Chains A and B, each alone.
Chain A
């Protein structure tokens, strides 16, 4: 075991964490902690683009982007945050370019832009070309470019360290983390003036997901156990086009470039539901269109999937602009997308909810504006909230660059004016107790079976369509799964690279995330964005134009409401 001391610790080495690290590198003593090698982070799987109103291809304004973001999020987006997101997006994209990101270009050398779902000109008139992109591997290029900058600026990386606990001083300041060095099995205290949580999402709680196996929500569950609130956890996005059964993402860029969804009868059904934007309606809606088609028996061969059809697009366009996703279709489906349609189904993709923060990434203590000193969060882990009830495609990459940067800058200022808080007594006590329990308890059941049942239950009861009945069943199911988890054990009792132990720890985090999703979904008696309740099928602005804040207290879970920032755009019915 060792003791590390830094000015700031960043947990998570995806886009948000790296962007924050680059702001501080060379100016403060920092470390980036990741349970993976940084280049394995899930930012690298993002495909289609990063939006900014550059106006390179056609007229565009950040105010249009802001409107689309607010409307896309079904008006529960905090508009002060959406303004920052869309204004800063322009500068953020240029900064990425200056760092060397290989964007696709126009003939005159400027950055090319393309269409994406829900992004429109002049407040909803027609689709607009706003997404800057690097083929269909934009996230890969962002991750590579930011990691390269990390190397350039000599950032300290603690690779393959798993966060086990978050530490607070006796006066309530964040003061570090406890982490397990995966390679040696040693548990370390990492002491710092401030901590940024940027660990990505938790899509793995669902059985069909686009998320990496690392997406287990550790960065949600650990602070939640320590009394930090989670906001809007009921808003979970299902991306319409995951490869059937695999869940692997086929970018919305496929539809941005002209791809069409077809049901089992060959009909282009999106235009029936969204006459203006058709296949480029926001993701929550398109996922529900697909659900409806399947429910009414128009899935392919009566099964639970429909087609994404690119066969009418020119071969050169597919090769130049969609090379990776068409390669996925060939590899995993054995299908040639230039001639045949690809079977797809909605796939668990993105958490709109998360750790509530202000515009500088500071974590909120409760529904008031009070913050927890020294604790920051950014990216999918956080909820600013810029995505509201449904995130628009490309806005996740904007979010992590814009708010990762703001958090990093604020942290740099914070560490310059702040002392090092004292560690609590025996800081590793809880983490050691948990690890030792997981390592030693008898195996009455396999962890994998508990995990599988959790994933299937969440997909079945708490995904695209929900009701009081399904959610109550899920809540009861979670109680049962927790008791099974307490009886489940592992095979590997060693110290070196014990991934059996890691997976068991991650399952504990997944159970916490699932509980928060179900609790929020049960409370929110309306339908808004990605949260659709069969028993409350309409939006209810009178009672529910509010964020939910969920906290663990000694008396159990406590849910409160928090007001939404509305500056420019009054809530209206959402039509496309």
Chain B
């Protein structure tokens, strides 16, 4: 079956500005969008550039904009779209080449919320205890693969470069609501600012974009509620 891939291309070595190129490919409806990209790279045009690795939605390399919405190219099948699909790099990030964007600011945002367990001495020769209910309180947030689909879907991040973004907030929440963690106050202080949760306008784009089905917006709302009520 013929599909048309319309791809936003930009190579800083030769291009002054981005442009679109089209490729017609014979693919099955059950092929992944990534299979189409590979088909182009391997048999039509080896200069097409994108990141990819696991090819089944767990490594987070190939988040991109497909028909105006963010997806992982490896977790999206052709049958979800029409005969013609438009691929663009994630919005709100500097483009390095074609579909590859600069992730440095995204990871800096992640690092800023102290994404690691902050806790005192662990018991010797035993685990810290945590009940299934306590785990359930934050387990959803642990699914994050740092693909940036949510952060790049958020209109606030397009306009405001200092907003820490939904992915960083989700990862802060992952620790704030972990019964073993003692760093909630520090993280809440970081998020209780106009570059933190209060920038969020509850647009729900991030929840829609998340390929791991994390309730991103609700998690941000949780953090806001915690700040207002001053209790975890």
Residues of chain A having any CB pair with chain B under 8 Å = 36-37, 39-42, 44-45, 94, 97-100, 102-111, 134-135, 137, 140-141, 144, 148-149, 151-152, 183, 212-214, 246, 248, 324, 328, 331-332, 334, 446-448, 490-492, 494-500
Contact = CB atoms under 8 A, between A and B. Distances in A.
Contacts of A334: 30
Given A109-B131, A212-B53, A246-B56, A100 B116 contact: yes
Interface of B is mostly: loop
Given A137-B143, A212-B59, A446-B43, A104 B12 contact: no
24 contacts: A36-B61, A37-B146, A39-B59, A40-B51, A42-B59, A45-B58, A100-B178, A102-B135, A108-B131, A109-B130, A134-B142, A140-B58, A148-B115, A148-B117, A213-B53, A213-B54, A328-B57, A332-B30, A332-B77, A446-B43, A491-B46, A494-B14, A497-B49, A499-B41
Given A103-B127, A497-B49, 11 more contacts: A39-B60, A40-B51, A40-B60, A40-B61, A140-B143, A324-B58, A328-B57, A332-B32, A446-B46, A499-B49, A500-B47
A212 B129 contact: no
Contact of A497 (B97, B115, B127): B97
B93 to A, nearest CB: 14
B180 interface: yes
Contact of A110 (B30, B47, B129): B129
Nearest to B14: A494
B180 A100 contact: yes
B56 A104 contact: no
A25 to B, nearest CB: 12
A491 B40 CA distance: 12
Interface of B: 11-14, 30, 32, 41-43, 45-47, 49-61, 75, 77, 96-97, 100, 103, 107, 111, 114-117, 119, 122, 125-132, 134-135, 138-139, 142-146, 175, 178, 180-181
Contacts of A111: 127
A200 to B, nearest CB: 11
Given A109-B129, A110-B127, A492-B47, A500 B178 contact: no
B102 to A, nearest CB: 9
Nearest to A95: B122
A497 B51 CA distance: 10
B44 to A, nearest CB: 9
Contacts of A213: 52-55
Nearest to B97: A497
A130 B114 CA distance: 32
B178 A102 contact: yes
A552 B24 CA distance: 45
A334 B80 CA distance: 12
Nearest to B121: A98
Interface centre among A100, A105, A500 (most CB of B within 10 A): A100
Contacts of A97: 122, 127-128
Contacts of A495: 13
Nearest to A328: B56
Contacts of A108: 129, 131
Contacts of A324: 58
Q: Across chains A and B, which 8 residue pairs bring their CB atoms closest together, nearest first? A: A109-B129, A100-B117, A491-B46, A448-B42, A148-B116, A98-B122, A152-B116, A500-B46
Contacts of A106: 132
Contacts of B55: 212-213, 248
B16 to A, nearest CB: 15
A241 B13 CA distance: 45
Contacts of B58: 44-45, 137, 140, 324
A509 to B, nearest CB: 16
A491 B47 contact: yes
A51 to B, nearest CB: 15
A110 B60 CA distance: 31
Nearest to B102: A183
Nearest to A112: B132
Contacts of B14: 494
A111 B46 CA distance: 48
Contact of B96 (A183, A214, A491): A183
Given A110-B127, A328-B56, A491-B45, A151 B115 contact: yes
Contacts of B43: 446, 448
A102 B47 contact: no
Contact of A212 (B11, B12, B54, B135): B54
